[in-house]
A and B are shown apart, each in its own frame.
Chain A
Amino acid sequence: MWLSAPDIQAILLSTKVATVATLLSLPIGFMCAYILCFHDFRGKILLEGLINLPLTLPPVVIGYLLLLLLGANGALAPLLHMLGIRLIFTWKAAVIASAVVGFPLLVRSIRIGMESIDLHLIHASRTLGATWYDTLASVIAPLCLRGVMAGSSLMFARSLGEFGATIIVAGNIPGLTQTIPLAIYDYAASPQGGQAALLLCVISVIISLAILIFHDAVAGRLIRKD
């Protein structure tokens, strides 16, 4: 037995959704981590709670809330209509679902990386003539690269496995919005699907291992040891 055309499409779509979701979230996640780590302001706890909410909420709930927001009669519907954007039941909705669910993991990892930076380094950089955004680019970003890498891998992996929120906002349309987990779900529900489901499971394991190995290899080279 071999992979069917919809299976291959599911694999490609999963990779595409996870990549786009991770790349889109990265700059926003980085800024959120920076704000949470280095600034004190009113409502910080609220922002922190909001960012971490998807970590504790069931993905299905997130999917439903996204549907209320982005759906045909959703709160943002007039805006999306005006801009001519249709999100629901497209692969873009899967990207949004993955981005929201994986976001707290990304922010957490980057924040841990930022918190481990010695404040003296930041102070030294400022007194040597760097503005705050210069310091952010020349000291903070390079020193938390490991956190950024860890967060991105974690988020990418989480996006690959996203099921609950995706099925609600993107549906489960083979060839269009069907990702690996959704395809496995379909196969598992049909009597002859056992082997195909197993094959997709093996593919999932391979992709996950590849991310892990890639992360370890890159993270090890990011720190100067001399």
Chain B
Amino acid sequence: MQLDLSLKKELPHFRLSAELSYKGRNLGLFGPSGSGKSTLVSLLAGLDTPGDKGHLRLDEQVLFDRNQGINLPPEQRRIALVFQQSALFPHLSVRGNLLYGFKRRPVRDNNIDFDAVIAALGLEALLERGVNNLSGGERQRVAIGRAILSNPRLLLLDEPLSALDDDSKFQIISYLKATCARFNIPYIFISHSLVEMRMMTDSAAVIDNGSITDICSTETLARKLMGRSPVGYINILGLGGMTKRDGLCVYNWNGNELLLSLGNQDTRSGLFELSSKDIILFKKHPEAISARNLLECNVTSCFESGTKLGVELECGNGKLISEIVPDAARELEITAGSVVYAAIKASAFRRLAAAETT
């Protein structure tokens, strides 16, 4: 996707003035609610008309240009949307919903196979059902299938995970990534959740108060925001091979052993989050501590974020980000190359999604 836009829109209590030039596979659009994400989505899809001046180009095709008097209607832009609330047609069956865009796709680009999309999203069993009694996760899968079957040039995912519980959320993330990659459809993922954003895209544009203020990798963004985020930097860990020992769950993480509280005993493997705030660093091996995990790590780099200092740790094959105040860094003499001990409480991990249950 190559996106080039300069769009303005005046609303009664809000002014959008966004400029962006981006070339890449996928893009995140990150910003708090009320920052203008949804307005921008409407303008991209052609559901709303931008104000004076401005242009919008996608892959060299002009979708909107005030000067040239071009403003393609939504049905000619071929930018499909997946909304937070699914927006499935209540008068149609699952099959009817899926076929809606499929029947209307342009004949010349006919490379989407109905059965392949249904199989990729695991929708075979739902086809003849109505859409009113589906679960949240099922609804979003149908919505994604419906959008992909219209064979769009670009998929706009407008907070598609916000209405879902954690387990469905991560299930949908894997469906989304796999299906879009399989059918070669670029997407813009819109969200106010940094964790979701990092799992969906490598780069993100930051929108704040109606304008795009930054564009960088999602990892860089997470590190930049660590200093002022109340939850710090969220480490996302894939843990597996759970066994029980002494009233704790023991997981394997990239060759390390991590001990988690017994509340996780029904998860054999899955994704867990760990805040940078919950990792305490020691210069020397502490003899006895209450935290159940003590990892010997190499410091690979340090970065400033607000008033905090982020410390990138390498523990075996795993990477963690811990945060400390600059004062502590001086005292412990933490620099790239030094060796530290990271202590983590067994209760500091929070399960995001179970991949395999017991």
Contacts and interface: CB of A to CB of B under 8 A. Distances in A.
A40 interface: no
Interface stretch (A17-25, A46-54, A128-136, A186-194): A128-136
Interface stretch (B78-86, B341-349, B350-358): B78-86
Interface stretch (A65-73, A80-88, A119-127): A119-127
A129 B90 contact: no
Contacts of A130: 75, 100, 104
Contacts of B45: 123, 126-127
A138 B99 CA distance: 12
A139 B89 contact: yes
B129 interface: yes
A224 B83 contact: no
B89 A226 contact: no
B201 to A, nearest CB: 21
Interface in B140-178: 146-147, 150, 152
Nearest to B47: A123
Contacts of B132: 224-226
Interface residues of A, number: 22
A17 B91 CA distance: 33
Interface in A31-58: none
A118 B129 contact: no
Contact of B85 (A120, A128, A131, A226): A120
Given A129-B75, A129-B105, A143-B91, 17 more contacts: A118-B87, A121-B89, A124-B146, A126-B73, A126-B74, A127-B47, A127-B75, A128-B101, A128-B147, A129-B101, A129-B106, A130-B75, A131-B73, A132-B73, A143-B90, A226-B130, A226-B133
A180 B42 CA distance: 54
A142 interface: yes
A10 B221 CA distance: 79
Contacts of A224: 90-92, 130, 132
A-B interface, 4 closest residue pairs, ranked by CB to CB distance from nearest: A226-B130, A128-B101, A129-B104, A120-B87
B104 A128 contact: yes
B104 A124 contact: no
A169 B91 CA distance: 43
Contacts of B147: 127-128
Interface residues of B, number: 32
A114 to B, nearest CB: 14
Given A118-B87, A143-B90, A224-B130, A124 B81 contact: yes
A202 B190 CA distance: 63
Nearest to A142: B91
Interface of A: 118, 120-121, 123-132, 134, 138-139, 142-143, 223-226
A144 to B, nearest CB: 10
Contacts of B130: 224-226
Contacts of B105: 129
Nearest to A143: B91
B80 A127 contact: yes
7 contacts: A124-B87, A128-B150, A129-B78, A129-B101, A130-B100, A225-B132, A226-B133
Contacts of B47: 123, 126-127
Interface string B36-54: 0000001001110000000
Nearest to B156: A127
Nearest to A222: B91
A18 B50 CA distance: 47
B79 A127 contact: yes
A127 B75 CA distance: 5
B74 A127 contact: yes
B90 A126 contact: no
Contacts of A226: 129-130, 132-133
B83 A128 contact: no
B87 A128 contact: no
Nearest to A224: B130
Nearest to B102: A128
Contacts of B79: 127
Contacts of A132: 73
Nearest to A226: B130
A225 B133 CA distance: 8
Given A125-B100, A127-B45, A226-B132, A120 B91 contact: no
